[in-house]
Structure formats: C-alpha cells, structure tokens
Chain A
C-alpha cells in the first residue's frame, strides 16, 4: 500500500515537472525575438492599412502565456498539438511518424550499450586483474572522450551500416563507457564486501555467488542509471540522425531548431522529457523491488 502511494506520488511529480517545463518553455518561446511575426507584414503586396490591421489582429489574439498554455494542454489531451509552422503538418502526426524510428534505434543502442557495459563491468569486477581493468577502462575513456557527432561521423566513414544500425551503434558506444564505469565501481565494491567473502569461504558456487550475493544487492544502484541512460541515448541520437539523414525525432528536433519552429521543438522536447521521466520512474520501481535491495 505504502509502495503504491509512493509510486503515485513519483508519477505525479514527473507529470508536474513536465508540465512546469512546458510552461517555462511556452514563456521562453513567447519572449523569443521574432515570435508571432506574421510573414504577411513583410509582403509588399499588402497595403500599410492591411499591415496595420494584421498587427492589431495579432495583438488581440494573444491572451498571455498561461491562458494560451492551458488552451494548448486542453487541446493536447485530445491529441492536437497544433500545426508545425515549417512542415505545415500536424505536430502530433510528425512526432508519431518519427517517434517509433528513434525508439527502435535507441532501444537497440541501449540494449547493446548496457549489455556490453555490464558484461565488461562484471568480468572486470570478477577477475580483478589490473591489466584487464586498464584495457577496459582505456576503451571506455576513449569513447567517453569523443562527442557523439564524431562517433556518428566515424560510423558514416566506416560505411556498411544502415541508418538505424548506425544510430543504434552510436548510442551503444555513448552508453557503454558510462554503464561500464558505474557497474565496475558498484560491482567491485559489492564483490569486496564481507558477506561475499563469507559466502565464498562457505563454498558457495561461483554462479550463485554472482547472482545472489553480488548482482542482486548491486541492482538498485545500477538500475538507477537506467532513466538517465535513456536521456543520454535520445541526446546522442540527434547528431547521428542528422548525419545519416535518418528520419527520427533527433533529426526533426534539429530541423525545427534550424527553422526556428519553436512550438514543434518544445513539443518534441516535452515528449522526450516525459519519456525519460517515466523511464526514471520505472528504474526507481525496479530498484525498489525486494530482490534488488542492497543487503
């Protein structure tokens, strides 16, 4: 019962955070230079009188940030996120088209990055060999030193990978070093804990030792990274989707930024924020499950 109440509280917190973010974004967009300027006012075919009329019309149509934001939220509940000024298409349709592409590649990249990071972390913590640690640490450092745009470029230069695979590979290379470092630190600490030494002394088998005494107690700490890694994955997707001309959310956000299609950009950012918030919540739930608590 208490667990359910905490979950509901966490979910409401995520929702309120995203709504607050949306309001701040709406206020920022309102204050941005050039916002709301009608292109008709620089069209030579319109007379001065018509231009004055258009300007007055624009002045009276805006009701302030909060009322406009509330109207936007009311429309959003029915799936109407407005029309993109640069693509001249409904924003909801644009996001619905691109979202699955980024989700698939981000999902594959996250799975790959987490698997590689966890495996290496496990082996490094289990072996405790300085040479292996050094080699794995150097590989992780190398990838952590490169911006995701350069990794994307390397993928294109290497060739052979399709758009989705390239996006997934870059995301995996961005995620892997971070997961490895955290997993290595947490698993190493747990492996050196007294209860593990005791279990080993009592003759517990290596697989059981790993699963029951090292992995399970470390799970909460490691899973806490899941939400953040989703956020990092979506961020890393932007340059690689741009470079590989892959029609995902990252590319859409970039196009919206270059065309200053601010409402579209804000909508995309809100959707991604909501997703990362929910994934953080999911990680929190997984971390609180009885099997994954530290001993």
Chain B
C-alpha cells in the first residue's frame, strides 16, 4: 500500500508538472483555432486531435489541468483557513461564540452542496469575463466549503482544550494568544493538514459538476468541468473515443488523491 501511495504521489506530481509546462509543451496555446483542421483525429501534430473549432485538444487538456489542479488546492486552502479560524475559535472560546458558529455550520451543512453552489453562483453575475469566472468559481468553493473543516476542527479544539497541558499552561498565566500559538495550533496542525488534503478532490469534483452545468469557468478558458461538458455531444464521443481523455485524466488524478488521502467527508 505504501508503494502504491508513493506511485500515486509521483504520478500526481508528473501530471501537475506537465500541466505547469503546458506553455512550453504546446506553444500554440489553448485558444488558438486551426481553422483548416477542425475535428481532426489524433496525429503527431495534434496529440489528441482538435475540437469542432479547431482548437488543440491536448493543449486544452494541459491548460485545463493546470487551472483545476492549481485552483482546487487554492480553494481548499481558503476553505481550511476559514474553517480553522471559525472552528478553533468556537472550540476554544465556547459559550455563545460556539453556539452561533455551530448553528452556522449546521446551516451550511443542511443545504445540499450542489444546491448551495448553484444558488450562490446564480446570485453573482453569470455573464462575466473568463478570468473573473475562474476567480468566482474557486472563491465560491473556498468560501462555501469551510463548514466541514470547521466542524471537525471545533471538535478537535474542544478536546485539546480540556487536556492537562492546556490547563497547566493556563494556570501558569499563559495568554489566550500564547495558548493558541504554542499549544493549540501545533496540536491541531495534522488535522488542519488532513482537512486541506481531503478538500482538494472534493473541490475538483465540485468544479467538474459546476462546469458541466455551464456555471463554472467560462469559455475559452479550459477547465476539467468545461472539458467534461464537451462530452455531452454524445455522437462525437461515440465516434471519437479519444475525446474521453479529460475524463480519463480526471479519473486518474482522483484515484491518485484517493490513494494518498482517503475521502471520508460524506457531505459533498
């Protein structure tokens, strides 16, 4: 299992490095339209063929991977940060802060995740520039996905708060900030890290679903959600199986994440 996990890490790193080197590997870029060769089969020039607009499918896959694989961790970091601030404050201070935050967490977790994303996405303007759509999509994931980490970290902070070493430090006159910095946060660090790693695959899947529904990253910028939406052209997929490459890559990346961090969060 350890070897399999290591192999998954290496594969994930290789995919991410290839995505980062997209500008060097496919200098033509993701938006250039080769009007003389729309919908061509894979060849030495176009490794995965082109789409109906003559855009290089391999370039779009690499650039899409770069966006999804960079921004999902960014959204996960944001969600974990907000969740950690809320959860640790609630767990540490208790009282009305804990009650209010617990209700807010309940509220966020009671709404089905995709319904929540859809509702808040629709509140924001739909007709935005592609770069704005990237920011909106991942800020949305980051700012709405905090409740899960907050719940876990609140429980952990409450447990640690009642440990002997915390009581002793408090008795010796340690200030709340010192307690937080020297005692609470170092003990919570592994849980915070686990929450971060667990959130990444969930956000990748969420972006894929949003993009598939036409509410994710806007064209012509590629993302895995947008590329998967292209599979809705069933005739084209049946005749050109290589168009399934975004799905295969997504599956591969998700399997790697699955091997590295078990996906235990049930709520999304």
Residue of B112, B228, B237, B264 touching A235 (CB-CB under 8 A): B112
- List A residues 196-227 near B (Cβ within 8 Å): 225
Pairwise interchain contact B228-A257, C-beta atoms closer than 8 A:
no
- List A residues 1-45 near B (Cβ within 8 Å): 13-14, 16-18, 20-21, 24-25, 28-29, 31-34
B162 at the interface (CB under 8 A from A): no
Provide the residues of chain B in CB contact with A273, threshold 8 Å: 110-112, 115
Pairwise interchain contact A235-B113, C-beta atoms closer than 8 A:
yes
B44 at the interface (CB under 8 A from A): no
Q: How large is the interface on A (under 10, 10 to 19, 20 to 34, 35 or more residues)?
A: 35 or more
Pairwise interchain contact A33-B125, C-beta atoms closer than 8 A:
yes
B107 at the interface (CB under 8 A from A): yes
User: Distance (Å) between the CB of B90 and the closest chain A CB?
Assistant: 16
Provide the residues of chain B in CB contact with A253, threshold 8 Å: 115, 118-119
A265 at the interface (CB under 8 A from B): yes
- List A residues 234-283 near B (Cβ within 8 Å): 234-236, 238-239, 242-243, 253-254, 256-258, 260, 262, 265-266, 268-269, 272-273, 276-277, 280
A274 to B14, CA, bound (A): 45
A105 to B136, CA, bound (A): 32
A148 at the interface (CB under 8 A from B): yes
Interface string of B71-105 (1 = CB under 8 A from A): 00000000000000000000000000000000100
User: Distance (Å) between the CB of A289 and the closest chain B CB?
Assistant: 22
Residue of A14, A141, A228, A269 touching B116 (CB-CB under 8 A): A269
Pairwise interchain contact A272-B112, C-beta atoms closer than 8 A:
yes
A273 to B112, CA, bound (A): 7
Pairwise interchain contact A156-B113, C-beta atoms closer than 8 A:
no
Pairwise interchain contact A157-B110, C-beta atoms closer than 8 A:
no
Pairwise interchain contact B208-A147, C-beta atoms closer than 8 A:
yes
A273 to B120, CA, bound (A): 15
- Which residue of B103, B118, B264 has the most chain A CB atoms within 10 A of its CB atom? B118
Q: Which of B35-43, B170-178, B211-219 contacts A (4 or more CB under 8 A)?
A: B211-219
Pairwise interchain contact B126-A258, C-beta atoms closer than 8 A:
yes
A104 at the interface (CB under 8 A from B): no
Pairwise interchain contact A13-B115, C-beta atoms closer than 8 A:
no
Q: Which applies to chain A's interface (DSSP): helix, strand, loop or mixed? A: helix
A192 to B37, CA, bound (A): 63
Interface string of A140-178 (1 = CB under 8 A from B): 011011111110010011000000000000000000001
Q: How large is the interface on B (under 10, 10 to 19, 20 to 34, 35 or more residues)?
A: 35 or more
User: Distance (Å) between the CB of A157 and the closest chain B CB?
Assistant: 6
Provide the residues of chain B in CB contact with A257, threshold 8 Å: 118-119, 121-122, 213, 215
Provide the residues of chain A in CB contact with B106, threshold 8 Å: 13, 17
Provide the residues of chain B in CB contact with A268, threshold 8 Å: 115
Residue of A13, A20, A147, A258 touching B209 (CB-CB under 8 A): A147
A73 at the interface (CB under 8 A from B): no
A268 to B119, CA, bound (A): 10
Q: Which of B55-63, B188-196, B250-258 contacts A (4 or more CB under 8 A)?
A: B250-258
B231 at the interface (CB under 8 A from A): yes
Pairwise interchain contact B212-A262, C-beta atoms closer than 8 A:
no
- Which residue of B111, B125, B237, B263 has the most chain A CB atoms within 10 A of its CB atom? B111
Provide the residues of chain A in CB contact with B239, threshold 8 Å: none
Provide the residues of chain B in CB contact with A147, threshold 8 Å: 205, 208-209, 212, 228, 250
A277 to B267, CA, bound (A): 13
Provide the residues of chain A in CB contact with B266, threshold 8 Å: 178, 182, 225, 228-229, 232
Pairwise interchain contact B118-A238, C-beta atoms closer than 8 A:
yes
Pairwise interchain contact B263-A144, C-beta atoms closer than 8 A:
yes
Known: A33-B124, A280-B110. A243 touches B232 (CB 8 A): yes
Closest Cβ neighbor of A268 among chain B residues? B115
User: Distance (Å) between the CB of B145 and the closest chain A CB?
Assistant: 13
A144 to B250, CA, bound (A): 12
User: Distance (Å) between the CB of A174 and the closest chain B CB?
Assistant: 11
A48 to B236, CA, bound (A): 51
Provide the residues of chain B in CB contact with A265, threshold 8 Å: 118-119, 122
Q: Footprint of B on A, CB under 8 Å? A: 13-14, 16-18, 20-21, 24-25, 28-29, 31-34, 141-142, 144-150, 153, 156-157, 178, 181-182, 225, 228-229, 231-232, 234-236, 238-239, 242-243, 253-254, 256-258, 260, 262, 265-266, 268-269, 272-273, 276-277, 280
Known: A147-B212, A231-B113, A257-B121. 14 other contacts (CB 8 A): A13-B103, A17-B107, A17-B110, A28-B120, A31-B123, A145-B201, A150-B208, A231-B109, A231-B110, A231-B111, A234-B112, A234-B115, A265-B119, A273-B111
Q: Footprint of A on B, CB under 8 Å? A: 103, 106-107, 109-116, 118-126, 201, 205, 208-209, 212-215, 228, 231-232, 234, 237-238, 247, 250-251, 254-255, 258, 263-264, 266-268
Could you name 22 residue pairs across A and B whose Cβ atoms are closer than 8 Å?
A14-B110, A17-B110, A32-B123, A142-B251, A142-B255, A146-B251, A149-B228, A181-B264, A231-B111, A234-B112, A235-B113, A242-B213, A253-B118, A253-B119, A257-B119, A258-B215, A265-B122, A268-B115, A269-B111, A276-B112, A277-B110, A280-B110
